[in-house]
Amino acid sequence: MDNDRKLINVTIDGIEVSVPEGKTILEAAERLGIVIPRYCYHPALSAPAQCRMCLVEVEGAPKPLPSCVQQVQDGMVVSTDCAEARKARRGVIEFLLLNHPLDCPICDAAGQCMLQDYAHETGQLRRRAVEPTVVLGRDHVTSEIVYFADRCILCTRCVRFMEEIAEEPVLQVIQRGHKGYIDTMTDELFEHPFSMNIVDVCPVGALVNEDFLFKARSWDLDQTASICPGCSQGCNVLLGTKEQRVVRLKPRPNPEVNSHWMCDYGRREVVRWGAGIRAEVPMVRESDRLVAIDWSRALDALVEALSEASGGAKAIVSPGASNESLFTLRSLMERVGFEGGYFHVTTGSEQVLKGFPKLALREDRAANARGAELLGFERVDYVYGALLGHRGVVFVLEEALDGAPEDFGEGVELFIYIGSHLSPAAGKADIVLPCPIWAEMEGTFTNFEDRVQRFNQALRPPGLARPIWLSFSVALARLGAGEPFTSVAAAFGALAEELGVYSGLSYERIGLNGATTAAAGSAAAARR
């Protein structure tokens, strides 16, 4: 769209740049890598130009102009860093800090706070006000989000998110002037499936998620680009991890998938996935009990058992398993005859984000149901029914087997259980292989609209747990099927070569933003 517009020349801080007509000064400056400080401006929301932080000097203008709304004009000469603009910013920072509690040491936003950042960058060293600060207190706005009125800078990003993106304008500035605060119009808390985005848009620590409150300092978190596995939407996220635990998910902007947003369900559910009793070592059955052994001997046992197997293989898989895991599983099953793979998807009601309807909490509460389908696994309501009467080899991949019939796994030739957690039903397995959860490995998921997206490893897998694409590719090599994969990229490459829908895609090309399969549209469409 930009290409259709006329280009105009502006000079910002002495650098000339050509930008399409209609761009704001702030956007034009970003093209030059100049980030003009801002609070109320958010790229996905309307700009009310009210925080006055982004004021810049424009030659010929009688007073400083708000760069977030002021459109560039041909020949415009802008200074973002002259004495006048700096003084204006310093003034705004001083005003914002007048009644600010400066409770950074106990504030969740410390370290990721725009007020803190800009105060250090442009603020003054000494407080000139001798007046005591106004104390307003705190309150819940939803059952999970706490509002600290004293820290609030009234940028109204949260108000605008609810109005423009959630399209449920429940938040409002109450009162006016310095008495203003953010609240709902009633005494009730509000509920919205995307409510926690107001925490993300808050540039300071005024709106905080109670679940994360006091859990970690933001600078102690490791941040990893990942994909939310909560549903088939595949929101791009940043995993915040600390001490081998996922402590939070934050949306990672992707205009094709989730813009700047993600749902509350995703944040709430998946942070707990690593909890529970984990499978940490490979085990094989010796007479009537499972015995822990090392990977090398476990794979020996696996290869030997499969070589001797006479019946074909059926599998129950998780729709949350990665494409590479499913692909290597399928390849392995084919060595003894693929007789069918099945998965069940837990569903819930769909919740569309009205202001950005591309994004919804999808009915399928699993990340890779589509990927499993494309690999020939079959979606069924009752997975155990599909295995009734099967006497050959049974694989179970990352499926907890809750609700499995009591005799599940009995009377089959070989039962191989691959899982991140120890499930009671795994007790009957002949071989148990520990695998990581999604946060502990890397790979790809294919979302509901055939978009392939990469997630990166954020945590170390516990004990000897090892990604399935790795262990199975070793087993496959021993069964005479080529060389083992040395990377996920290689595993995906082999998958793309074998499965037509992924042709033209490579792990590198998918990158951090994902790419759609040929079936979902041409590569050009993916770039657009």
Partner 1 sequence: MAYPYEHPRETRVLSKYFGDEDAIGIDGWIERGGYKALAKALGMAQDAVTEVVKDSGLRGRGGAGFPAGLKWSFMPKDGKLPNYLACNADESEPGTFKDRELMRWTPHQVIEGIIIASYAIRAQHAYIYIRGEFVDIVRVLNGAVVEAYERGYLGENILGSGYGLDLTVHAGAGAYIAGEETGLLNSLEGRRAEPRVKPPFPAQRGAFGMPTTVNNVETLASVPGIVENGADWYRQWGTEKSPGTKLFSCCGHLQRPGNYEVPLDFNLKELVYDLCGGPPEGRELLGVIPGGSSVPILTADEIDCDVSYEGIEAAGSFLGSGGLIAMDDSTCMVRAVRRMVEFYDHESCGQCTPCREGTSWLAKILRRIERGEGREEDIPLLLDIGANMAGKTICPLSDSAAVPVVSSIQKFEDEYMGHIRDGGCTAKR
Residues 176-215 that bind partner 1 (CB under 8 A): 176-180
Tokens standing for residue 389: 């009467």
Query: Which of 173, 213 has the CB closer to partner 1?
Result: 173
DSSP state of 441: S
CB of 118 to partner 1, least distance (A): 12
Q: Of 128, 135, 287, 402, which one interacts with partner 1 (CB under 8 A)?
A: 128
* DSSP code per residue over 75-94: T-EEESSSHHHHHHHHHHHH
Residues 27-66 that bind partner 1 (CB under 8 A): 48-53, 55, 62-64, 66
Helices and strands counted in the chain (H then E):
14, 26
DSSP state of 162: I
CB of 172 to partner 1, least distance (A): 8
Query: Which of 137, 389 has the CB closer to partner 1?
Result: 137
Residue appearing with tokens 């009793």: 277
Q: In 110-170, which ranges are E strands?
A: 138-140, 145-148
Binding mask 65-104 for partner 1 (x = CB under 8 A): -x--x-----------------xx--xx-xxx-xx-----
CB of 58 to partner 1, least distance (A): 13
Separation in Å, CA 8 to CA 36, 77, 430: 20, 12, 70
Binding mask 420-439 for partner 1 (x = CB under 8 A): --------------------
Query: Which of 71, 456 has the CB closer to partner 1?
Result: 71
At residue 145, φ and ψ (nearest 5 deg) are -115, 130
Rounded to the nearest 5 percent, the helix, strand and coil shares of the chain are 30, 20, 50
Query: Which of 170, 360 has the CB closer to partner 1?
Result: 170
Query: Which of 50, 218 has the CB closer to partner 1?
Result: 50
DSSP state of 237: E
Query: Which of 74, 334 has the CB closer to partner 1?
Result: 74
Residue appearing with tokens 């702030």: 26
CB of 61 to partner 1, least distance (A): 10
Query: Which of 111, 180 has the CB closer to partner 1?
Result: 180
Separation in Å, CA 207 to CA 120, 198, 350: 22, 7, 26
Separation CA 354–CA 362 (nearest Å): 14
CB of 87 to partner 1, least distance (A): 7
Query: Which of 83, 277 has the CB closer to partner 1?
Result: 83
CB of 167 to partner 1, least distance (A): 17
CB of 53 to partner 1, least distance (A): 7
Is 404 within 8 Å of 425 (Cβ atoms)? yes
Query: Is 165 near partner 1 (CB under 8 A)?
Result: no
Residues 333-392 that bind partner 1 (CB under 8 A): none
At residue 432, φ and ψ (nearest 5 deg) are -120, 125
Separation CA 84–CA 144 (nearest Å): 42
Write a three-state SS string for 260-325.
Answer: CCCCHHHHHHHCCCCCCCECCCCEEEECCEEEECCHHHHHHHHHHHHHHCCCCEEEEECCCCCHHH
CB of 97 to partner 1, least distance (A): 9
Residues 256-295 that bind partner 1 (CB under 8 A): none
Query: Which of 98, 481 has the CB closer to partner 1?
Result: 98
Site of interaction with partner 1 (CB under 8 A): 48-53, 55, 62-64, 66, 69, 87-88, 91-92, 94-96, 98-99, 128-131, 153-154, 173, 175-180
